[in-house]
Amino acid sequence: MALLVVTATVSALAQRPDGRATAMTGTKGKQSSMPTMANVPDPLGVSMERLGSGTTWIPDAVSLPSRQFAADEWNFMLHGFVFGQFDTQGGARGGHQLGSLNWGMLMASHELGGGRFQARTMLSLDALGVTSRGYPLLLQSGEAFHGEPLHDRQHPHDLWMELGAMYDRPVTKAVGVSFYAAPSGEPALGPVAFMHRPSAMDIPTAPIGHHWQDATHITFGVLTAGVFTHEWRIEASAFNGREPDENRWDVDPIRLDSYSGRVSFNPTEHWALNASYGFLESPEALTPDVSMHRIVASAMYGAPIGADGQIAATIVWGANKHSDRSGLSHSGLLESEVVLDHQNTLVGRVELVQKTADDLLLDVPRFGFAPARSFNVGDVSLGYIREIVPLRGATIGLGAMGTVNVVPQSLLPAYGSRTPLGMFVFLRLRPEAATGRMPGMNMKMSEVREINRITGTLEGTASH
């Protein structure tokens, strides 16, 4: 059902309401009509295509596949993925599941008071596709189900992944201000969330360091304010520190009990760097008296390759300090996606995370580990996707990804192997493969809007 709903959404938005040419990112070399986009400003040259999840930035040189169109002075961007997958995880703690991961995002931008107003919503039917308990994923931890902490399983996303609004406006020729408010959204903490990273957009699984790095991408209650230039963004947030509960269909109680700050820097079109700190009040419902400090830093690189491909890579370090534990627990991630051309994509991810016996539910009598005992666990994943069914403005790819998980010798009794294996085989639906350029043109959508503005000025001058 999730697959049908999101497919219908993609199809419905594949054409503009007035039937004229859709402005979209897509494979170079195909013919397309020049789009006419609404005259929505890009404050200080920061285009809508630079925006990642929440208020994060991605490199200007790469993009996420999307559909863009205009109507009644609004610019719209549709972005989303659907994975129909078979998930098999080996070893004593593994499992199997046939399911669907999915999400869709719609952003609407409009000129307002000399700046850019943007309303956005992001929805997911994960809880239908992989059940409210989520999908098997060895070494994963975080959140709860039926009063028990989840382990070796990734929780589903909430229906309301994001529901918010952002306003960016220049106040001088070099400096602007930014405001973001969301009943469900993402505070200024962590890197671009994994499903929005060009380096991970075709990877069907969450990182096992998710709750050390970008788990706050769904937060029920966020207020963020910041200042920015073309290269820098400095921002602070007040937000709800509690992880979403296991009811994936409602809006959780909104509160502002936690805080964070983040510095982002895009020195060139190929790089996006950020570092952040946050205090999370009572993040886990099962341990309400435990608070947490989180520190995260990341670097993202991107560049076009060939006629219609791109390469993107991300490195992330994240650390947590729980109020009931001594010292920091660390996580590290390196991932990359290489879109070789409009038909072939390679993906890969390497991780190392420090998790406790409590995180992995190994402190039960069967295993007998002290709750605070820490273990270094990791994984290496490689995958390939081949586009097999071109649709109008979208594509279906057939893919597979294998994972070698690595645990210490002391966890051999729990996992049945020091290198338990995992595998995902999937069909993936998303907007047509993109490099951030207009089909057949070396031009980004922000450049198209500037051409439209100049053209309109010239036409107005000629008419007089």
Model confidence over 33-85: pLDDT tens digits? 445 677 889 999 999 899 999 999 999 999 999 998 899 899 999 999 999 99
CATH number at residue 78: 2.40.160.10
pLDDT, one tens digit per residue, over 330-375 is: 999 999 999 999 999 999 999 999 999 999 999 878 888 999 999 9
Q: What is the chain's mean pLDDT, rounded?
A: 88
Cα distances (Å, whole numbers) of residue 109 to 63, 208, 266, 341, 387: 18, 34, 22, 30, 31
Cα distances (Å, whole numbers) of residue 113 to 43, 72, 110, 342, 434: 12, 17, 10, 40, 32
Residue 171, phi-psi category: left (phi > 0), alpha (psi -120 to 50), beta (remainder): alpha
* Domain count along the chain: 1
pLDDT of res. 454: 53
| Position with higher pLDDT, 366 vs 201 | 201
The secondary structure of residue 14, as a DSSP letter, is S
| Position with higher pLDDT, 440 vs 391 | 391
Q: Which two tokens stand for residue 178?
A: 């930014």
pLDDT band of residue 5 (cuts 50, 70, 90) is very low
Q: Which of 133, 128, 292 is nearest to 215 (CA)?
A: 292
pLDDT band of residue 432 (cuts 50, 70, 90) is confident
| Position with higher pLDDT, 436 vs 129 | 129
User: Could you tell me the residue range of the domain that residue 174 belongs to?
Assistant: 2-463
Element at 363 (helix H, strand E): none
> Of 24-33, 56-65, 239-248, 454-463, where does mean pLDDT reach its minimum?
24-33
- Average pLDDT, integer, range 160-165: 97
Residue with tokens 């100049």: 454
State the Cα–Cα distance between residues 178 and 224, nearest whole angstrom: 8
pLDDT of res. 441: 34
pLDDT of res. 35: 53
| Position with higher pLDDT, 351 vs 448 | 351
State the Cα–Cα distance between residues 286 and 272, nearest whole angstrom: 36
The answer, yes or no, to whether residue 137 has pLDDT greater than 80, is: yes
> Of 269-278, 350-359, 451-460, where does mean pLDDT reach its minimum?
451-460
- Residue 460 CB neighbours (<10 A): 9
β partners of residue 423? 88, 402
pLDDT of res. 89: 98
Q: Which of 295, 297, 279, 178 is nearest to 232 (CA)?
A: 178
pLDDT, one tens digit per residue, over 100-122 is: 999 999 999 999 999 999 999 99
